[in-house]
Amino acid sequence: MSETRLPTYFVSHGGGPWPWLKDLMPGMDKLEASLQAIPAELGLTPRAVLVISGHWEEPQFTVQTSPHPPMIYDYGGFPEFTYRLQYPAPGAPDVAARVGQLLEDAGITTHYDARRGYDHGVFAPLYVLYPQADVPILQLSLRRGYDPAAHLAAGRALAPLRDEGVLIVGSGFSYHNLANFGPGAATASKAFGDWLNETLVEGPVAERTERLMHWDTAPGARASHPAEDHLIPLMVAVGAAEDEPGVRTYHEPDFMGAIDSSSFRFGPLPVPRG
């Protein structure tokens, strides 16, 4: 294992453009602190960040190739200025080519998109990690249908990127049921959050993949994820570090007053040099 091999992450990315709305969206302090901690714990600046966001899906896995991706304001009901926000991180066409090569070498059909911009599942958390927008970023879409096996396989194919300076981040939410985001979410989100932590952190690594393949049978699963777009990015992050331990890097049992919310890291941190 390379001393500079990067771990992978699954992060709960919060709601809409929250980093710019702290007065209007209080209660994000713990989530913000967990994201801010990532650059320091890595101890190095990635060559690029590959983000798998719950806000982009295509019929086949699709790689963002633009050298200067635009912004996608994929939210509603927020102040007017949030539809003019800019997070001008450069793209990474060279890494995009490598992502496509790795997927295609693994027999995974891959498409490319030169026009796709950054959705808020990318620019909201990455602004907290790298507020200077000085680290290249690219996205990989989800594949329509949300097959866990397909996304775990994509992660396995992309694992070599970890030795090439690329940080792999699955960006979603451990609980995502917009129809039940208040006190009624407490029981289901805790049940599913406990199952996630048992599966990803406390239980045997050798059993993790099989449990994730059948995530929808877990306690509180479908009440927490009626549609699994915000959970499936986790599968790519796990697949890229399939045999390595997990750590819960963020846990808030009462996010927004009721919701059990978590983020996770897979694989050890890089070994400091010197």
Compute the distance between CA of residue 192 and CA of residue 221 in angstroms, rounded to an integer: 6
Compute the distance between CA of residue 101 and CA of residue 29 in angstroms, rounded to an integer: 39
Compute the distance between CA of residue 238 and CA of residue 159 in angstroms, rounded to an integer: 10
Number of continuous H segments (helices) and E segments (strands) in the chain: 8, 10
In sequence order, what are the residues at sequence separation of 6 or more whose Cβ sits closer than 8 angstroms to the Cβ of residue 74? 55, 119, 120
Q: Where are the domains of the chain?
A: 8-179+189-254
Compute the distance between CA of residue 125 and CA of residue 102 in angstroms, rounded to an integer: 26
With both helix axes pointing from N to C terminus, report the angle between 148-158 and 205-213 in degrees, rounded to the nearest 10.
140
> What is the value of pTM for the model shown?
0.97
One digit per residue, the tens of pLDDT, for the chain of length 274 reads: 567 999 999 999 999 999 999 888 888 999 999 999 999 999 999 999 999 999 999 999 999 999 999 999 999 999 999 999 999 999 999 999 999 999 999 999 999 999 999 999 999 999 999 999 999 999 999 999 999 999 999 999 999 999 999 999 999 999 999 878 888 899 999 999 999 999 999 999 999 999 999 999 999 999 999 999 999 999 999 999 999 999 999 999 999 889 999 999 999 999 865 4
Q: Which fold has domain 8-179+189-254?
A: Protocatechuate 4,5-dioxygenase; Chain B (3.40.830)
